[in-house]
Amino acid sequence: MTPEQIGAMIDHTLLSAVSEEKDIVRICEEAKRHRFATVCVNPYWVPVAARELAGSGVGVTTVVGFPLGASRTEVKAAEAEDAIRAGATEIDMVLNVGALKSGQADAVRRDIEQVVRTCQGKAAVKVIIETCYLTEEEKRTASLLCKEAGADFVKTSTGFGTGGATVEDVALIRAAVGPAMGIKASGGVRDLDTARKLIQAGATRLGASSSVAIVTGGTTQGY
């Protein structure tokens, strides 16, 4: 794939606690220039991103239950609803990792389903399963719960855990969910070669703060 084609699959991400409005404006300008899929920002900055990207064709992603996934379901749904009102077009929610590891599959599924219902017809839903904390079997289970709950994507990582996307995890998720569901690889995607390998393994979206370096061949450190 060409850098331009890969750029169209990137959620250009800035989730730092110390991001300022000027930083959000900057990444929006970069996203428009390089034709990224969306920018991914914290909920507070959604109105700014929506304003800066209006009419550009670049979407606005924000996070829900971030970064731990341990918020109550009602809170996650309310966060999603508020974000959509503010201009978000895609919602990246964090799966309840502790509930999953406790064997509470029904609770995890209901958690996702409620956010999916809130977003129905308004915003795509990506579910962050935080692969770094899961066994292989838990990764399969989490991926299938996302599919059963009607999510649009399984996403590997928040970027705030102990590890990010790997080719092996993307391939495992793809094998679990089949060919049709979206997979977002995020965390540690910093160069074109890594991006290509993740896409070859089955990723259909990439989350990165090093997006400009990926598509221009530069090098940088980031999400």
- The residues assigned a catalytic role are 92, 155, 184
Q: Which structure tokens are listed for 126?
A: 């990506």
Sequence-distant (6+) residues with CB within 8 A of 85 are none
| Amino acid type, 102 | S
Instruction: Please name every residue paired with 184 in a beta bridge, in sequence order, or none if there are none.
Output: 155, 205
Beta bridge partners of 11: 38, 207
CA 146, CA 95: separation in Å to the nearest integer?
9
The β-bridge partners of 60 are: 39
- 220 Cβ contact list (under 8 Å, min separation 6): 190, 210, 212, 213
221: exposed, middle or buried (Cβ count in 10 Å: 0-12, 13-18, 19+): exposed
